[in-house]
Amino acid sequence: MADLLLTGIGELVTNDPGRDGLLGVVDDAAVAVKGGRVAWVGPEDSVPREFRQLPELDCAGRAVIPGFVDSHTHLVFGGNRADEFARRLRGESYEEIMAAGGGIQSTVEATRATDSSTLLDDAVQRARRMLGTGTTTVEVKSGYGLDRDTELRMLETAASITEYVPLDVVATFLGAHVVPAEYRDDRESYVGLIIDQMLADAGKLAVFCDVFCDEGAFTVDEARRILTAAADHGLQPRLHANQLGHSGGAALAAELGAVTADHLDHLTDADIAGLEAAGTVGVLFPTVSLSLNLEPPPARRLWDAGVTVAIATDCNPGTSYVENMQLVIALATLTSGLTPEEALWAATRGGARALQLEDKGWIGPGSAADLVMLEADSYLEIPYRPGTDLVRMVIKDGAAVVS
Ligand code: NIG
Ligand code: FE
């Protein structure tokens, strides 16, 4: 297990609530790592004697931040939808393409037809690019199988990523993404299939159960039944909610005390109050609105109402083929009304809250030693220089895995 003493940190973002400001920044800092966990954090001139002999890494004045926690992705998929992207740029809407059998359904067909080793290899390449751009924990959903075997194959693929890429993967079962084409005239049977034949096995492979509750996907009643049954198999509730319209998904998330409600592009004040009261984390995707040419997510409204906000890539082949959380941070500030410090917090500690990972997304005694050294002296350069990869080094569990 790795031991390390990082010195010469010009600006250390700790996200430690015991320190000043949202980000708990410490200037001219050092971080001691013992056994792959953070053991001590503070000014460099006060490193305790017991840590002074650890192998030293001089950061030469650069900024160090917690590794990004990308709390919502559809990383495992077959095929590619660049053609649909071009159609959208020519004026067709996401909903029109979906209603015509494209969209999610076309990725379902491609995923079913992709063998397991190709599925894994493609997912590994994406995960590698994520790690290389600073993501140390990623959530991965199923949802492009929509039959028992392919859904489970997707969850197994998600788990296998960690054999090849040193980042943490948290799996989510999204068998209720859309009703697959073969059940279009009998959606009740598909809901029954999920509840009776998928949830028990999914519960052994995933932490969360997610439902896409929106026009063209699942109704509030269907989502409630699925998420209630999922809880019996130990799966925590999440919802794709209020992305395409006022679906009632956000209110259902509040009613169920869901861990997260994701997208949230259409919200009433009552929805927001409900999410705040339920302690549900709002997970937002500035890249999705950009890709769909829609209004940016209401990050400012949610933050000001006291809802815990996370931002994530939503990496998927349709609405956001984005792997880089630095771009998400840039857009959260440039389009969605968050300040640089709020955006960085939402990409790190907010993401960890969305995944219920208490030791991630901050840097302090007892936290994971998942750290990113920037090729910059301040985190502010992330939104200031969108499109530039500012990651100099990634440290996972105290070991340099990208440098
Ligand atoms: O999070 N909203 C539903 N699901 C995905 C889109 C998936 C796709 O288009 O393939 C999302 O945006
Ligand atoms: Fe999604």
Q: Are 43 and 158 in a shared domain?
A: no
Q: Are 267 and 373 in a shared domain?
A: no
Q: Are 374 and 284 in a shared domain?
A: no
Q: Are 323 and 72 in contact (CB under 8 A)?
A: no
1 has a pLDDT exceeding 90: no
Q: Are 256 and 160 in a shared domain?
A: yes
Residues with CB under 6 A from ligand 1: 74, 103-104, 107, 212, 240, 243, 288, 314, 316-319
The residue nearest atom 3 of ligand 1, judged by CA position, is: 212
Q: Are 296 and 308 in a shared domain?
A: yes
Give the number of the atom of ligand 1 that is nearest the alpha carbon of residue 104.
Answer: 10
CA dihedral 389, 391, 397, 399 (to 10 degrees): 120
Q: Are 24 and 125 in a shared domain?
A: no
SS (H, E, C) the chain: CCCEEEEEEEEECCCCCCCCCCCCCEEEEEEEEECCEEEEEEEHHHCCHHHCCCCEEECCCCEEEECEEECCCCCCCCCCCHHHHHHHHCCCCHHHHHHCCCCHHHHHHHHHCCCHHHHHHHHHHHHHHHHHCCEEEEEEECCCCCCHHHHHHHHHHHHHHHHCCCCEEEEEEEEECCCCHHHCCCHHHHHHHHHHHHHHHHHHHCCEEEEEECCCCECHHHHHHHHHHHHCCCCEEEEEECCCCCCCHHHHHHHHCCCEEEECCCCCHHHHHHHHHHCCEEEECHHHHHHHCCCCCCHHHHHHCCCCEEECCCCECCCECCCCHHHHHHHHHHCCCCCHHHHHHHHHHHHHHHCCCCCCCCCCCCCECCEEEECCCCCCHHHHCCCCCCEEEEEECCEEEEC
Q: Are 260 and 335 in a shared domain?
A: yes
CA atoms of 144 and 153, how far apart (whole Å) = 10
Q: Are 222 and 324 in a shared domain?
A: yes
CA atoms of 203 and 289, how far apart (whole Å) = 32
State the residue for tokens 């994406």: 126
Ligand nearest to the CA of 178: 1
Ligand nearest to the CA of 215: 1
Helix axes 116-132, 148-160, angle to 10 degrees: 40
Distance 75 CA to ligand 2 centre (A): 10
Q: Are 137 and 161 in a shared domain?
A: yes
CA atoms of 360 and 139, how far apart (whole Å) = 13
Q: What pLDDT, on a 0 to 100 scale, did the predictor assign at position 89?
A: 95
The residue nearest atom 1 of ligand 1, judged by CA position, is: 314
In Å, what is the CA distance from 271 to each residue of 68, 274, 338?
A: 28, 5, 20
CA atoms of 177 and 211, how far apart (whole Å) = 6
Whichever domain contains 216, its CATH number is 3.20.20.140
Percent of the chain with pLDDT over 70: 100
pLDDT tens for each residue of 94-118: 999 988 889 999 999 999 999 999 9
Distance 284 CA to ligand 2 centre (A): 10
Distance 25 CA to ligand 1 centre (A): 35
Give the number of the atom of ligand 1 that is nearest the alpha carbon of residue 81.
Answer: 10
Whichever domain contains 18, its CATH number is 2.30.40.10
Ligand nearest to the CA of 104: 1
Average pLDDT (182-194) is 97
Give the number of the atom of ligand 1 that is nearest the alpha carbon of residue 94.
Answer: 9
Q: What pLDDT, on a 0 to 100 scale, did the predictor assign at position 253?
A: 98
Distance 158 CA to ligand 2 centre (A): 15
Q: How does 113-129 read in b/e, with b if 16+ C-beta sit within 10 Å?
A: ebeeeebbebbbebbbe
Query: Which of 354, 370, 387 corresponds to the end of one domain?
Result: 354
62 has a pLDDT exceeding 80: yes
Q: What pLDDT, on a 0 to 100 scale, did the predictor assign at position 221?
A: 98
Q: Are 230 and 373 in a shared domain?
A: no
Average pLDDT (124-151) is 98
Of 314, 315, 320, 328, the residue with max ligand 1 atoms within 8 A of its CB, to mutate for a pocket test, comes to 314
CA atoms of 71 and 68, how far apart (whole Å) = 9
For the beta carbon of residue 57, count every other beta carbon within 10 angstroms: 21
Residue 321 tokens, joined: 């083929």
Q: Are 152 and 195 in a shared domain?
A: yes
Distance 152 CA to ligand 1 centre (A): 19
State the residue for tokens 């390449």: 125
Count of domains for the chain: 2
Mean pLDDT of the chain: 97
In Å, what is the CA distance from 208 to each residue of 24, 244, 314, 392?
A: 30, 22, 16, 33
pLDDT tens for each residue of 363-392: 999 999 999 999 999 999 999 999 999 999
pLDDT tens for each residue of 285-313: 999 999 999 999 999 999 999 999 999 99
Q: Are 275 and 382 in a shared domain?
A: no
Distance 112 CA to ligand 2 centre (A): 19
Ligand nearest to the CA of 139: 2
Q: Are 105 and 98 in contact (CB under 8 A)?
A: yes
Average pLDDT (227-232) is 98
Distance 72 CA to ligand 2 centre (A): 6
Enumerate the β-bridge partners of residue 57. Answer: 6
Q: What's this model's pTM, rounded to 2 decimal places? A: 0.98
- Domain range holding 61? 4-66+362-402
Of 84, 265, 313, 319, the residue with max ligand 1 atoms within 8 A of its CB, to mutate for a pocket test, comes to 319
Q: What pLDDT, on a 0 to 100 scale, did the predictor assign at position 101?
A: 87
Of 142, 240, 328, the residue with max ligand 1 atoms within 8 A of its CB, to mutate for a pocket test, comes to 240
The residue nearest atom 12 of ligand 1, judged by CA position, is: 319
Q: Which strands make up the sheet holding 281-284, listed edge to edge?
A: 68-70, 135-141, 168-176, 208-213, 236-241, 260-263, 281-284, 309-311
Give the number of the atom of ligand 1 that is nearest the alpha carbon of residue 103.
Answer: 9
pLDDT tens for each residue of 236-253: 999 999 999 999 999 999
Ligand nearest to the CA of 74: 2
Sign of the dihedral through C-alpha 363, 369, 370, 372: positive
